[in-house]
Structure 1
Amino acid sequence: MSPTRCRGGSNGLAMHGWSTGRPPWSGSWCATTCRPDRGDREMNHRQARRKTDLATAAWTRAVRVVHVWPGVPAPPKTARVLSRPPTLGGLLLLLALSACGQQTRMLPDAGNIDTKLAFSCRYEADASPAPDPELQQIFEYARFMQKNNLLDPQASANVEIARLYRIAAAHGHIKANYNLQNGLRRGDFDGSVIGVLDLNDQLIAAQAPAGYYLLGVYVNSGFGYSANDELALRYFRKAADLGNPQAQYYVGDKLTWLGPDHPAFPIGWQMYRCAAEQGHAKAAGEYATYLNDKDRGQALKYYQLAVKAGNDIAANALRKSFLAPGSGDLNDLGLAYDAERSRRYKIISKTLGDWSYRQPTVPDIDDIVPLPPAPLPAWDGKIQWLRDHEAGVAPPAPSEERLRALAEAKLLDPATGLPDEARRAR
């Protein structure tokens, strides 16, 4: 049986504006039971690729699975899970144990993933219905509470956050479901591994792209399922094709590392671009860097998109670009010297870096530093996100009466959002 894959560090794949903590495969998943592989598989492949030609063959094998080329045998459709649904008192241990269970759990069929090499850009927003306004209010209030509970986490606040997410998720709110899964995996909320998988089954049943992305994360890391890299890649590709920007970035990264001589290389950059256009900060920044020596005008556009999405590195790159006309180096985007534009990007970069744990964005970037030749407007030195944060104004709180009604409609305990077993047994 494959060992659990434990990942560490930030990879920028947390769903922007949805999750407020560590990425889905944070190092907190690692434990010693079952001796999980504590290395980062992707980084190991990259290092090996630089040292030996053998890695080229390994990446080629991976991309065949990503594209599900005809003739590639389908992996098994079942995977092992834990024998019983435990609580999260010992979640860190159980995440490692999840590859050692005895029961089987059916996985969604990966055989219907598009077999063509080409990628057609789709946006996740187009694949998901607009949320009900009442459920959106519950979600926004829960997310506000969650972001304000990061530096000094309070257990009582987490109980309330989980309750709100559970009620909204039970009524089909996709982002509430996603954030609830993340909180359960991190151990912020009480629940079970099987409970996380059941929540994700709801996303997949709704054909939500995020559901396939999370399934790829779980299968890749051995969370609740036996670790299976090839099957995980199929799910990541499915999510990318449906429009999930995190999956587009992940698969795009795999393909671009194959090198410019590989036929899948341009497909990878198409995925980066699609993710960038959806507000994926890292994808936008890396795609802009790729365009540096190819199309400076487009590179400038995607650097600006990256800053808008909250990429402090992209803001710093633009800061340098307005100080480096004619230098011929990577900072040269063919721009005229402009000390004031450079100063503004420097302030923005510092703000984004200082507050990175809150995932700030700069939707007002074009009102602060519009791209030339547009003139610079007056600016007080603060992005709108920082003004809103300093004001500390909470979104409207949902009424307890409506929360109770929504909970009871789904046979949930209104006090916790958990299933009301007594009512369900009637």
Structure 2
Amino acid sequence: MDATQLPPHLQALPDFNPHVASFTCQFEALKTPPIDAQANDWFLEARALEDPLVYDDDLDYKKVVRLTRQAADRHHWKAMLNLASLYVEGRDPPNGTKEAVTLVSQAMDLGIPAAYDRMGTYQLNGTGVFGGSGDAYALFQRAAEMGNAHSMAFLGEKIDAGADGLKEGYWGNIPVAIKMFECALAQGFGPGADELQYMYNVPRDSKGDETGMATPETLARVMRAMHEGVKSGSKMSAISLFVEFGNPNHAPQYVYVPFLDKARSERYAMLADALSFNPDRRFPNLDRILPLPPAPLPPWDGTRDSLLAAAMAVTPKPIVPAPTEASTRKGRYFLEAAYTFLPTKETSNGPTAPVASFWQPTATTGSAELRAFLGTIHPGLYQKGEAFEALRYPGGITKDDISRVVWQRLLTVHNNDGAAEPRAVRTLARQVERPHPPMVCDDHAVCPITGTWQPWLPPGHPLEQTVNQPWRQRWLRADQPFPNVKQDWMLPLQIGELKWHLIEAEAPKRN
């Protein structure tokens, strides 16, 4: 068998090289398949069922598996990897480790960077595959090159030593390590910030060597990185800030906060505890309740719930649309009114559906009669491997015309007239009423109203998966500039592509 015909997890990769000369930040969202909105809602419902507050024996894993599989069947890449985890955990007998490896291999075949990272973990732990650390690190390297933040943070920590051999399994390549950490953090992976404390605290040259002592500028850079880490879910960053503001335990010249502040320390400690209990938490609106100095510390009632509620993401109540034509249809042609269709570039001229999805017959060539006929056929839901319905031959349409037909895949998107509607696991976000009237600002503007703002791209945009997320939103004061998405988040966007939508205005303070 030709090597390229082997399953992706059995194909040879270049050996891991800890001494690569450079690293270019890639975004995973640009490599993954587009996400179907209905599949994403199933996925989020499944994630909400796996609540840490519920005892494991009381979790409805049958429903979790069913919802996750429904989403995975539509190539929801996160669902595919979660389903593999459920198989490994034995949540869906007789599916187990073998089926998990097959599923992750299929995800690799789709070009999903996180699948390479997952297969590397399987290799490292001997989970259904046997390759050892060399093969595992080669997979991590490929995943990082493709844009996977987890692999970036993992490898960055392995190559941020001062030199090779200081500790077994660690190498010296600090410049590349820093780039990996920064790229991981820019994609919302909080642990990418953890090692930056040691990378940023002193000036360095192009080789990563220290060129002097810590300065106010380098220490302020550490503080900002740790704070961003907390926003993105890093327990270690929260612990670091708890220690720094409360009782630093290292040399004074490396203390990276401007002053001790027990009140700030207490809040970071509570956030660290919440992240220890549930690492899926994110605190994008942290500045609302715990801004960095020199901003004053806002009042707080001292309760855990109010701290977390102020810092967590907010999501608007979904728009309830009127019934649509598709919601009145029957069988495979039915689609809930909550969704509408978005055509993709994915087509098939085979007899069966290559992936579970809505498909519609179309033709770019052929007679006018053919194109008019195809225009009368609604998108239909087909399962993977299900035969497409045979097309009849109405008057004026020939067998040659029918041979020109290809089936086009359609995604579902939320039927909300393009409103900003970030979705999150319901236990990890606070739902609010929509502001009325709605307010939208350009990305290069100044914030006009104090509150929580959501960056937003239109459906189908290549970076939609990484921008239209609750963890991207920010609490801003009036007259603050919106984040510079190119500089702060490394996003390859042009001015005007992104809009900021007000999600929740700050309530006026009472006298």
Distance 2:129 2:64 in 1: 27
Give the conservation status (yes or no) of the 8 Å contact 2:190–2:234.
Answer: yes
2:181 pairs with one of 252, 267, 272: 272
Alignment: residue pair count: 309
Question: C-alpha deviations, 1:110-149, integer Å up to 9, x for none?
Answer: 2499995321112223332442211110100011112258
Query: Is the CA contact 1:362–1:385 (under 8 Å) kept in the aligned structure 2?
Result: no
**Is 1:370 the counterpart of 2:296 in the alignment?**
no
Match of 1:248 in 2: 152
1:173 is matched with 76
Contact conserved, 1:317 with 1:331, CA < 8 A, in 2?
no
1:202–1:389 distance in 2 versus 1, CA, 3 Å = farther
Show the counterpart of 1:281: 190
Q: CA deviation at 1:389?
A: 13
Contact 1:167 1:403 in 2 (8 A): no
Provide the alpha-carbon RMSD of the alignment.
Answer: 4.2
1:232–1:350: structure 2 CA closer, same or farther, 3 Å change rule?
closer
Point out which structure has higher relative CO (alpha carbons under 8 A, 6+ apart). 1
| TM-score, normalised via structure 2 length | 0.51
Distance 2:5 2:133 in 1: 14
Inter-partner Cα distance in structure 2 for 1:301 and 1:422: 52
Partner residue, 2:106: 202
**1:238 is aligned to 2:142:** yes
Are the structure 2 counterparts of residues 388 and 204 from structure 1 closer, same or farther at C-alpha, using a change threshold of 3 Å? farther
After TM superposition, the structure 1 = structure 2 runs for residues 378-397 of structure 1, keeping only pairs within 5 Å, are 378-381=299-302, 382=304, 386-387=308-309
Deviations 1:211-231 (A, max 9, x none): 111121222233222233222
Any conservation in 1 of the 2:33–2:110 contact (CA below 8 Å)? no
Structure 1 regions of 5+ residues with no counterpart? 1-75, 80-103, 413-418
Question: 1:236: Cα distance to partner?
Answer: 0.7
- Aligned partner of 2:213 in structure 1 is none
The equivalent residue for 2:437 is: none
Q: Does 1:218 align with 2:127?
A: no
Aligned to 1:247, the other structure's residue is in SS state helix
2:353·2:385 contact (CA, 8 Å) conserved in 1? Answer: no
Q: Name the residue aligned to 2:259.
A: 336
Please state if 1:296 is matched with 2:200. no
Change (3 A) 1:283 1:325: closer
CA contact (8 A) 2:286 2:310 kept: no
More strand by share: 2
Name the residue aligned to 1:92.
none
Which letter does structure 1 place at the counterpart of 2:82? N
Cα shift at 1:331? 6.4
Distance 1:388 1:201, change over 3 A: farther
Mapping of 1:410-425 within 5 angstroms? none
In the alignment, residue 298 of structure 1 is paired with which amino acid? R
List per-residue Cα deviations over 1:348-403 (Å, max 9, x = no partner): 333333x24x532222211111112223333344467844999xx9x99xx9x999
> 1:51-95: per-residue Cα shift (whole Å, max 9, x none)?
xxxxxxxxxxxxxxxxxxxxxxxxx9999xxxxxxxxxxxxxxxx
- 2:197 and 2:225 in contact (8 A); partners too: yes
1:166-223 Cα deviation digits (max 9, x unpaired): 1111111011111111111122232133321221122112211011111212222332
Answer whether contact 2:90 2:96 (CA < 8 A) is retained.
no
- Structure with more of its chain in helix, by fraction: 1
Q: Is 1:107 aligned with 2:10? A: yes
- Answer yes or no: is the 8 Å Cα contact 1:220–1:227 preserved in 2: yes
- Provide closer, same or farther for how the CA distance between residues 327 and 410 of structure 1 changes in structure 2, counting only shifts above 3 A: closer
Structure-2 residue corresponding to 1:66: none
Task: Call closer, same or farther: CA 1:379–1:221 in 2, change over 3 Å.
Answer: same
Unaligned runs of 5+ in 2: 204-217, 319-326, 336-351, 357-382, 388-511
**What SS does the aligned partner of 1:378 have?**
coil
Structure number with bigger Rg: 2
Q: Percent identity?
A: 26
CA deviations over 1:231-267 (Å, ceiling 9, x no partner): 2211110000111111112211221246279662322
Return the match for 1:319 from 222, 225, 242. Answer: 242
Query: Residue 420 and residue 384 in structure 1: after superposition, are their counterparts in 2 closer, same or farther (change >3 A)?
Result: farther
What is the CA–CA distance in structure 2 between the aligned matches of 1:232 and 1:131, rounded to whole Å?
A: 28
Tell me the secondary structure at the aligned position of residue 147 of structure 1: coil
Q: d(CA) in 2 for partners of 1:409 and 1:388?
A: 46
Measured in 2, the distance between the counterparts of 1:197 and 1:112 equals 21
The alignment partner of 2:118 has SS state of helix
Equivalent pair of 1:248/1:271 in contact (CA under 8 Å): yes
Cα gap change, 1:158/1:297 in structure 2, threshold over 3 Å: closer, same or farther?
same
